[in-house]
Amino acid sequence: MNKDFILPDIGEGIVECEVIEWKVKEGDLIEEDQIVVDVSTDKAIVEIPSMYNGRVTKLYYQESDTAEVHKPLFAIEVEGELHARQPLEEGNKSESKIESAAEAPASAPVAITGKVLTTPAVRKMAREHSLDLATIPGTGKQGRVLKEDVLAYLNQKVHKQTPTAQLNSIEDRREPIKGVRKIMAERMADSMATIPHFTFIDELDITELISLRADLIKNHGSEEFKITLMPLFIKALSLAINEFPILNSRANSEFTELTYLASHNIGMAVDGKTGLLVPNIKNVQQLRLLDVAREVNRLTEAARSGVINPADLAGGSITISNIGVIGGTAAMPIINKPEVAIVALGKIQKLPRFDANNNVVSRSILTVSWSGDHRVIDGGTIARFNKLWKQYLEQPQTMLLAMLEL
């Protein structure tokens, strides 16, 4: 008897997803926990594993189709029922095939055949420009063709064209707004429409913080374990939340109750290949600084690849957006609803400042831009909260002492 595999909840508020790539075909034997299909949600690419051993009997969607949550994704004949109805000799054949596969040399290379690894958006771009993806070198993981690869290939073609050919090929291009871009647009519009934002901007001197980071790299960093400034910003934020818990709260949808969240699940905006993602580090208040650094590395790598566990995207309580790594000194960030605050970090600048003796010295200056939900917090609260956070970052010894007192 066939069992339908029902597509489970794969993220907070997600009701549908796009089928990216089937890892199996109808008739294939699969094992429990084997990856059956990659799907693209509004936030990331998610790998869907099988719950049973058995044979795939039906795929309900084609690649690029939209699959609905809580609806059948594929059908499987589970192992016990499969063996019960198979003739003995057929079972022996299957066993022989398995034994033959087991006897193959472990060092033998595995050839990946079939279509080029890429995303539906890249395939669509290739179709629009009549490109053969097999002719485009892929720079992604396992040779995956990225959007940047297609654009680079198109740029080469344009340079090879004659001026007349270029003029003849100029035309407007239309593309549907969907996936991460569509959902992000809807959420940002909803946040701006329902939350009265206010902005608070301040300047931080992080010269000493940069020195502390250099010491951490010297004593604990490695090629595999990169230590950025982000773990320090995140840990200092958690320490400040201990004194101002209202920054780590959320209101219910009717705005009749405020919940002070016990867990400091601090999100960080990452510009990934599938769009803007905001994974969050769970329970920062319980983590050591180096543990926070490890989580920053893990989540950043996952978000940039687009393949991330939906649990890492759910349950955030406050967000940091490090827009400064791209450029710009200040911003007006939009609150990640239902959170009540978000802070954007500007780029670090070497600027002249007066020291205690009125001498001009070079300091590392960073501008931070807060947005707050004015229904929950006021300007005075966020100013006092930022003052404490600023103290931890400008005088990192106070942050280290506060960590020891926990």
pLDDT tens for 266-277 read 999 998 777 788
The Cα 256–Cα 271 span in angstroms is 35
Residue 18 confidence class, pLDDT cut points 50, 70, 90: confident
**Phi-psi bin for 193: left (phi > 0), alpha (psi -120 to 50), beta?**
alpha
Query: CATH code at 399?
Result: 3.30.559.10
pLDDT tens for 321-336 read 999 999 999 999 999 9
**283 with 151, same domain?**
no
**319 with 399, same domain?**
yes
Residue 157 lies inside a defined structural domain of this protein: yes
Query: What average pLDDT does range 84-107 have in this prediction?
Result: 40
**259 with 294, same domain?**
yes
Quote the pLDDT of residue 117: 74
Question: Which residues neighbour 317 within 8 Å (Cβ) at sequence distance 6 or greater?
Answer: 248, 250, 261, 263, 264, 265, 266, 267, 280, 339
Quote the pLDDT of residue 95: 42
Please name the helix (run of DSSP H) or strand (run of DSSP E) that holds residue 45, with its range, or none.
Answer: strand 45-49
The Cα 249–Cα 194 span in angstroms is 17
Name the residue among 193, 188, 40 with its Cα closest to residue 120: 40
User: 97 or 252, which is more confident?
Assistant: 252
How many Cβ atoms are within 10 Å of 401's Cβ, its own excluded? 11
Name the residue among 178, 233, 181, 191 with its Cα closest to residue 333: 191
Helical H runs in 221-343?
230-243, 289-305
For residue 181, CA distances in Å to 45, 52, 79, 119 come to 14, 34, 41, 15
Q: Is the predicted pLDDT of residue 201 greater than 50, yes or no?
A: yes
**374 with 231, same domain?**
yes
Whether residue 270 contacts residue 300, with contact meaning beta carbons closer than 8 Å, is answered with yes
**215 with 327, same domain?**
yes
Residue 43 confidence class, pLDDT cut points 50, 70, 90: low
Residue 181 lies inside a defined structural domain of this protein: no
Query: CATH code at 33?
Result: 2.40.50.100
Residue 32 confidence class, pLDDT cut points 50, 70, 90: confident
The residue type of 281 is I
Residue 54 structural domain: 2-103
The Cα 336–Cα 148 span in angstroms is 28
Query: What average pLDDT does range 240-260 have in this prediction?
Result: 96
Question: Which residues neighbour 259 within 8 Å (Cβ) at sequence distance 6 or greater?
Answer: 249, 250, 251, 252
Q: Is the predicted pLDDT of residue 92 greater than 70, yes or no?
A: no
**163 with 223, same domain?**
no
The Cα 232–Cα 224 span in angstroms is 19
**221 with 323, same domain?**
yes
Whether residue 179 contacts residue 121, with contact meaning beta carbons closer than 8 Å, is answered with yes
Quote the pLDDT of residue 143: 79
**99 with 129, same domain?**
no
Respond yes or no on whether the N-terminal peptide bond of residue 338 is cis (omega within 30° of 0).
yes
- The total number of residues written for the chain in this structure: 406
Q: Is the predicted pLDDT of residue 109 greater than 80, yes or no?
A: no
Parallel, antiparallel, or unpaired for β 16-22 and 249-251?
unpaired
Domains identified in the chain, total number: 3
Q: Which of 45-59, 76-90, 280-294 has the lowest mean pLDDT?
A: 76-90
For 86-225, strand residue ranges (E) read: 197-205
For residue 136, CA distances in Å to 45, 154, 367 come to 22, 10, 42
Query: What average pLDDT does range 59-72 have in this prediction?
Result: 92
**228 with 161, same domain?**
no
Q: Catalytic amino acids?
A: 374, 378
Residue 249 has phi, psi (to 5 degrees) of: -120, 175
**Phi-psi bin for 327: left (phi > 0), alpha (psi -120 to 50), beta?**
left
pLDDT tens for 129-161 read 888 888 898 888 777 788 888 888 888 865 555
Residue 318 has phi, psi (to 5 degrees) of: -165, 150
Beta bridge partners of 259: 250
The Cα 348–Cα 367 span in angstroms is 8
C-alpha 230: how far from chain center: 16
Name the residue among 119, 21, 4, 18 with its Cα closest to residue 68: 18
C-alpha 266: how far from chain center: 14
How many Cβ atoms are within 10 Å of 79's Cβ, its own excluded? 16
The structure tokens listed for 382 are 């966020």
User: 359 or 45, which is more confident?
Assistant: 359
Name the residue among 248, 82, 55, 276 with its Cα closest to residue 187: 276
**93 with 147, same domain?**
no
**41 with 151, same domain?**
no
Quote the pLDDT of residue 114: 42
